[in-house]
Amino acid sequence: MSADATAIPPRLGDLTRRRLLSVIAGLATPVVLAQLSQTLMGLVDTIMVGRLGETALAAVGVATLLFSATAMSLKAVEVAVQTYTARRVGEGRDGEVGAVLATGLVAVFALGTVFMIIGLVWPDRLMGWVAADRPMLELGTDYVRWRYAGMLPLLTFFLVKAMFDGVGWTRVGMWIGIGMNVLNAVLNWALIFGKFGAPVLGVKGAALASTLSAAAAALAVVVWAMRPSIRKRFRVLCRSNFQPRLFAPFLKIAWPPAVQTLANLVAVLILFWILGRISVIAVAAGNIVLRIAALSFMPGFGVGAAVQTLVGQSLGRRDVRGALRASWGGVGLATVFMGIFGVAFLVMPGVFLRVFTDSPDLVAAGTPIMRLMGWVQIADAVGLTLAGALRGAGWTRQVMLADLITGFGLMPVLAYLFGVVLGGGLFGAWGALVLWFTLYAVIMVVLFVRGRWWKNRL
């Protein structure tokens, strides 16, 4: 894994189309694999816990969302770390990257410690907000407690990885993320089912495996950042890195994606609360489909992250044409890859569902909403990629507002209306989720085409 100078060309606006797509794909592929490895942590939990029964599966699905509501909201600070890093590298100010990372770490550690303590002390109260079924509440409480124990290591991994992504060294996060996932799979097998001499811990073992894997990933990425060539170039370890004056402009970029992530997760939690009013089968089927769909989102997230870096560095070099070309090129790549997932979801939904469950009832319930996720793939590809481009320019607040309106504001109301009031059940509630993704993509296109995001200064 090389730590040499980034391979991003100086001016993307001067590249041929083929070369530009090659640059985007070269950055995006490691990000996709890193994102995939992170998603697979929850996916492996779901696959293995699914063998423990429908109640355990539903409990882990809801408990994971509870943990994500705080951990992933704080993780969203990585958007600011990556954006500022890319802009500083584009401007030739490599020595300020360490201060950017330090600012992000101080911010998330201050809040992360508080939420970690809450999760350790009151996991039953957190789980009680969304779990009406008593056995589901008890299983979910164990999972929440052990996941919250690993919050700070997980945040450390995400933020240091974001620094490397902003530089353009996306392979660092990829390899460490893959290692984290492999370790998680092995520990899941050992701790859930009592293999290799370990005790049989069930749902608790799934959470503990994820926590230990995150701690190992955090240690690995910090050790890599401490390599002499990296530490000296970016001043990763320097007393002057803690600069209070950076907090205000940094948080101006960081708070919108944090609020956006929290609002999205709360919206999904409300959706699962609504599904719980329909049936436990609806909760379990929704959990499986959401896990599968998360895999299909990876090309969009990965290309969006790559475009975020390219836009940031291009604007740092005052190459607006390069930023535009990188954004639309990314849309094309994401559309192709997510379109493939869309066709697969439409044609063979049962094949995906049977990986997670042997229950005919769950497969029957999940098949229609899997097909809904197939129809929305293209819109989601556009929305995720252009959101990355706008974040790379520093337009995090505009992206947040679009998601708050369509997701947090609109989706839960429509899900309850379609699923419960009008009797549409799981399919009706899920239709509101698809409408959310579609409207968000439309707004991203309008903002990107009509806005003057390239004039934003950081």
Is pLDDT of 96 > 60? yes
Q: Identify the pLDDT of residue 298.
A: 85
Is pLDDT of 148 > 70? yes
How far apart (Å, rounded) are the C-alpha atoms in residues 71 and 126?
14
Other C-beta atoms lying within 10 Å of the C-beta of residue 280: 17
How far apart (Å, rounded) are the C-alpha atoms in residues 138 and 150?
20
Over residues 444-458, the mean pLDDT reads 87
How far apart (Å, rounded) are the C-alpha atoms in residues 70 and 84?
23
- Amino acid at site 115: F
CA angle, 146 as apex, 119 and 269 as ends, to 5°? 60
Q: Identify the pLDDT of residue 82.
A: 86
Q: Identify the pLDDT of residue 43.
A: 65
CB 2 within 8 A of CB 307: no
Is pLDDT of 39 > 70? no
Please report, for the chain, the start and end positions of each structural domain, with discontinuous segments joined by +.
Answer: 12-455
CB 369 within 8 A of CB 412: no
Percent of the chain with pLDDT over 70: 92
DSSP state at residue 405: I
| Surface-to-core class of residue 359, CB atoms within 10 Å of its CB (0-12 exposed, 13-18 middle, 19+ buried) | buried
3-state SS, one letter per residue, for 13-36: HHCCHHHHHHHHHHHHHHHHHHHH
* Residues near 440 by beta carbon (within 8 Å), at least 6 away in sequence: 383, 402, 403, 406, 407
426: confidence class by pLDDT, cuts 50, 70, 90: very high
Q: Identify the pLDDT of residue 13.
A: 64
Q: Identify the pLDDT of residue 121.
A: 87
258: confidence class by pLDDT, cuts 50, 70, 90: confident
333-383 tens-digit pLDDT: 999 999 999 999 999 998 988 887 778 888 898 999 999 999 999 999 999
For residue 419, which of 290, 301, 283, 259 has the smallest C-alpha distance?
Answer: 283
Is pLDDT of 1 > 60? no
Over residues 289-316, the mean pLDDT reads 86
Lowest mean pLDDT among 24-28, 268-272, 398-402: 24-28
87: confidence class by pLDDT, cuts 50, 70, 90: confident
Compute CA distances 232 → 6, 96, 112, 164, whole Å. 16, 11, 28, 14
371-425 tens-digit pLDDT: 999 999 999 999 999 999 999 888 989 999 999 999 999 999 999 999 999 989 9
* Residues written for the chain: 458
133: confidence class by pLDDT, cuts 50, 70, 90: low
Percent of the chain with pLDDT over 90: 31
Coarse DSSP helix, strand, coil percentages of the chain, rounded to the nearest 5 percent: 85, 0, 15
Compute CA distances 248 → 104, 215, 255, 436, 458, whole Å. 12, 30, 10, 32, 12
* Residues near 160 by beta carbon (within 8 Å), at least 6 away in sequence: 101, 218, 221, 222, 225
Phi/psi at 76 (5° precision): -60, -15
- Amino acid at site 288: I
Q: Identify the pLDDT of residue 5.
A: 41
Q: Identify the pLDDT of residue 6.
A: 42
Q: Identify the pLDDT of residue 3.
A: 44
